[in-house]
Amino acid sequence: MTTKPNSFLPPNSQLWGRWVETTLNSILAVRQKAEQDIANALRQLNISSRQPMRGMLWNQTGTTVTITTAGVYVPINLAGTLDVDGTFNTVAGTVNASGLKNGTDQARTIMFIASCDVSGANSDAIGLKLAVNGVPIDATECRSFTGPSAEAGKLLSQWIQRVEPGDEISLWVANIDGTTNLNVERFKLLAHAIL
């Protein structure tokens, strides 16, 4: 901001000089107002611009998930590796380690793709659901079967979900047919913001 210098004109004896000084002060005030308006507009634009967001979480070592009730979904809760090259503005889950969390201060609409290889008892039906903040989303359920010799079945779910800042999407599994514990051999969870 420019500060107006003190006038060295004699009082009221230089009307032209006073007019110039008044006119320049008016122009300066208009310019300062325009600069402030531009700064405010840019600030609003930066606030409203959506931040890019994507995430990739995976695990290849596996874990055993304890099942106590048939058909009831439980969290995998297995820490994964957050791919640092492909992940931006998401973080690994903190409530459920097999999840991705919105790491921005903006609500976003995100496409999620989740898959896991799960084995249990011979030919058991198994299921996968995505959960938001620990609440399974029924519409994301997918089912498969383990093989006749307890080979792993492939589970795959896709979903679009609006997530608020700090919201977490995680993987939950169920043994649909019985109470045999499930072996999660590997999982992947991908996220990409679409809005």
Q: Report the CATH number that the domain containing residue 62 is assigned in CATH.
A: 2.60.120.40
Residues 106 and 125 both lie in one domain: yes
Query: How far, in Å, CA of 175 to CA of 130, rounded?
Result: 15
Note the pLDDT tens digit of each residue in 84-131: 888 999 999 999 999 999 998 889 999 999 999 999 988 899 999 999
79 band by pLDDT with thresholds 50, 70 and 90: very high
Mean pLDDT of the chain: 89
Is 4 inside any structural domain?
Answer: no
Q: Is residue 151 part of a domain?
A: yes
| 30 located within any domain | yes
Q: Rounded CA gap, 179 and 194, in Å?
A: 38
pLDDT in tens, 133-143: 999 999 999 99
DSSP 56-91: EEEESS-EEE---STT--EE-----EE-TTT-BSEE
Indicate whether 11 pLDDT > 90.
Answer: no
Identify the pLDDT of residue 156: 97
pLDDT over 60 (residue 1): no
User: Is there a single domain that holds both residue 115 and residue 154?
Assistant: yes
42 and 62 part of one domain: no
Based on the fold, state whether residues 74 and 19 are members of the same structural domain.
no
Q: What percent of the chain has pLDDT over 70?
A: 89
Per the structure, the complete domain to which residue 45 belongs is given by: 12-49
Q: CA separation (Å) from 191 to 15, 45, 69, 84, 173?
A: 70, 25, 30, 13, 19
Same domain assignment for residues 136 and 81: yes
> How many domains would you assign to the chain?
2
100 and 180 assigned to the same domain = yes
The structure tokens 């006749």 sit at: 148
Q: Is the pTM of this model over 0.85?
A: no
pLDDT confidence of residue 192:
95
User: Is 160 in the same domain as 189?
Assistant: yes
Residues 93 and 41 in one domain: no
Whether residue 19 is found in the same domain as residue 113? no
Do both 149 and 60 map to the same domain?
yes
Mean pLDDT for 179-184 is 95
3, part of any domain:
no
Q: Does some domain include residue 1?
A: no
Residues 72 and 154 in one domain: yes
Quick one: 63 and 109 in the same domain? yes
> Mean of the pLDDT values across residues 39-59?
80
